[in-house]
Amino acid sequence: MSYTIKPTAQVDDSAELGDGTTVWELAQIREKARLGVGCVIGRGAYVGTGVRIGDNVKLQNYALVYEPAELGDGVFVGPAVVLTNDHYPRSVDPEGKQKRGGDWEAVGVKVAEGASLGARSVCVAPVHIGRWALVAAGAVVTKDVPDFALVAGVPARRIGWVGRAGVRLVEREGEPGTWECPQTGARYAERPVEGADGTTVLVELPAE
């Protein structure tokens, strides 16, 4: 395996790093974490015990990815993003005794292929970020995010759709529910979710 670990980074011996992955200064990769090929782990970033990260993932400076998070291929995690792992965070139990690892159940954030998390956004576990979704900078995600959704705010809500290029889609004139990427020309269509009033998902359409 050919990878690069900068001198001040801490990578546990049991962690797995793929070919071409770079771990920059002051980053920490914990026990049994697994990183795919071509990943970039920025300065001061943290990857928790047993975290699974796909290929070509970028963690920008000081991103915090707590176990048991799972990141798919091509995920982007912006500067100072936090992926939490505790339903009810407390330092001590009701009797005032300090909580240890076995005193609480870790819950994870799952980020699907191609999704991007903007700078200083927070994903409150357990949530799932869909394929190619985009979480705006500073957003706080408390509910699952659909594929291709653009979400923003506190708490985060869907404000639009994005395509694989990350550009906000525009609705095609005269074709309600059909969307197009102004950069690539790729087309997408909204489809209702059966049994969920008013809820829609976005699907990719074949090239014209």
Residues in a beta bridge with 34: 16, 52
- What pLDDT score was predicted for residue 12? 98
1-162, what's its fold? UDP N-Acetylglucosamine Acyltransferase; domain 1 (2.160.10)
- Say what percent of the chain tops pLDDT 90: 87
Taking only the tens place, the pLDDT of each residue in 80-109 is 999 999 988 999 989 999 988 778 889 999
What pTM, to 2 d.p., does this model score?
0.94
Edge to edge, the sheet with strand 187-192 lists: 170-171, 178-180, 187-192, 200-204
Residue 7 DSSP one-character state = T
Return the domain boundaries, the chain: 1-162, 164-208
pLDDT digits (tens, 9 = 90+) for 117-134: 999 999 999 999 999 999
- Contacts from 36-45 at CB under 8 Å and sequence distance 24+? 36/73, 41/9, 42/79
